[in-house]
Amino acid sequence: MQIRPILSALSRNKTGAILIALQIALTMTIIVNSVFMIQDRRGQMDRASGIDEANTFIYSYSGFAEDFNEKTQIPEDLNYIRQLPGVVDAVQTNSAPLTGGGWSMGLATEQGADADGVGTAIYFVDSHGLDAFGVNLLAGRNFTPDEVIWRERSETKWPGQGIITKELASDMFDGDWQAALGKTVFIAETHPINIVGIVEKMQAPWNGWNGIERTLLFPSQLLFGSGRVMVRTEPGERDRLMREVEEGLVANYDGRLIRRVQSMEEIRENSYRNHNGMNTILTTLIVCLTVITALGIVGLASFSVNRRKKQIGTRRALGARKIDIMRYFMLENFLITSFGVIVGAGMTIGLNMLLVNALDLPKLDWYYVPAGMVVLWLIGQLAVYGPAKKACQISPALATRSV
């Protein structure tokens, strides 16, 4: 329909149109990239850790008294916790998924310093490990109690058995994870490990690491003077047991400090605190930006309606219907927005490319751009609806008044 008169009207007053188009282009660039970054973080946060997070908690202990004997105290503590009603199992470990601190080593399928290694996180557990973490054993077997050895802080040897995650197995054996079972791999260049089991999923402690799904379990109990214990409970019993375990342990023996008793849910929240914070900031930015841009459109559109009151009156007097006036303004806005979103699409992709280079952010999925265009078209149309509605209320009589 009447595109040509709109265009010629626009060309007589370019500034306002260019301002809005530019604003829309920038808004689109920011919004689309922000939404993409938010989704990227959400995706990371949605990854399962592989352990029974809802029903587990973890605490740290450090021995300080002279009579603190870790070799007897750890089994005593673990036996005490395991017999408590409501406890499924407990295990001493060096770390856990999402905690942010842990141990990593390189594993290779061949012996020697030049063999290509794959980095993996390491957890030390005893034969209760799988049960206490609540991970799912896909193939092979658990550690037997007599495979579990004591490990001093400065130990340089490694246990002969290991359980690995499916992802690590698949990375080491060219995608065929089942092939890993029973094979020997090497740690610290020369020490052989027999893979006795493969678990479905168990994350490494660092959520920003790109090898987060690569984990190796070793059958060892640690004599480091301080460490962590993971406790898994029956559903609904966790909060009660977090208190009871702490009080019970201190009552049994007070030569070691029990601290940081935290549920896995708290640990997850802390772990992704920056992700959550950043997403909140970006969301706020998006909302403010949308409101500001919409208000800007309303302001400029109202202005242009005011200025054209007489023309509108004249057109109405000459037989234009309300809907025609309405349509004029809606279409005008659509044209300006279209120009804005086309420029915006280019800028959006440009900014994404910058982010990919500077921050290793993934590439924008193609559908974000058209989706952003549609959203901005909608915002534009909604914003202009009010002023356009007002414009079509202008009475034809106005045209005759002050002339």
Partner 1 sequence: MLSYYLRLALLSIKRNPILSTLMVAAIAVGIGASMTTITVNYAMGSDPVPHKSDELFAVQVDSWDPNNPFREPNIAPDQMTYMDAMALMKSAPAKRQTAMTKTFAVIEPEDRDVRPFETTGRATYGDFFQMFEPPFLYGNGWSRESDDNLEMVTVLSRETNEKLFGGDNSVGKFVRIGGRNYKVVGVLDHYRPVPKYYDVTNGPFRDPEDYYIPFNLVAAFELSRAGNTNCWKPNNEEGFQGFLNSECVWIQFWAELPTKSEQEDYLAFLNNYANQQKELGRFPRPLNNHIQSVMQWMELQGVVDDGAQVVMWLSIMFLLVCLLNTIGLLLTKFSTKAGEIGLRRALGASKRTLFLQHIIESAMIGVAGGCVGLFLAWGGLQGIGALFGNEVQHLVRLDVTMMFTAILLAIVSALLAGIYPTWRACNIQPAVQLKTQ
Nearer to partner 1, 170 or 220 (CB): 220
The answer to whether residues 315 and 2 touch, using CB atoms and an 8 Å cutoff, is: no
The whole-angstrom separation of Cα 162 and Cα 188 is: 14
Nearer to partner 1, 38 or 125 (CB): 38
What single-letter amino acid sits at 124? F
Cα–chain center distance at 270: 13
Q: Which residues bind partner 1 (CB under 8 A)?
A: 15-16, 19-20, 22-23, 26-27, 29-30, 33-34, 37, 62, 64, 66, 114, 153-154, 156, 188-190, 224-226, 257, 259, 273-274, 276-278, 280-282, 284-285, 288-289, 292-293, 295-296, 299-300, 302-303, 306-307, 355, 358-359
The whole-angstrom separation of Cα 360 and Cα 291 is: 31
Q: How far is the CB of 348 from partner 1 (least distance, A)?
A: 12
Nearer to partner 1, 113 or 323 (CB): 113
Give all strands of the β-sheet with 87-93 in edge-to-edge order: 87-93, 226-233, 56-63, 256-263
The answer to whether residues 67 and 255 touch, using CB atoms and an 8 Å cutoff, is: yes
Nearer to partner 1, 102 or 197 (CB): 102
Query: SS3 sequence, 1-50?
Result: CCHHHHHHHHHHCHHHHHHHHHHHHHHHHHHHHHHHHHHHHHHHHCCCCC
Residues 6+ positions from 50 with CB-CB distance below 8 Å: 97, 133, 135, 136, 165, 199, 200, 201, 202, 203
Q: Could you give the count of Cα atoms lying within 13 Å of 319 in the half-sphere of its Cβ? A: 0
Q: How far is the CB of 19 from partner 1 (least distance, A)?
A: 5
Q: How far is the CB of 272 from partner 1 (least distance, A)?
A: 12
Nearer to partner 1, 155 or 176 (CB): 155
Nearer to partner 1, 42 or 307 (CB): 307
Q: How far is the CB of 351 from partner 1 (least distance, A)?
A: 9
Neighbouring C-beta atoms of residue 299, cutoff 10 Å = 13
Q: How far is the CB of 188 from partner 1 (least distance, A)?
A: 4
Q: How far is the CB of 205 from partner 1 (least distance, A)?
A: 13
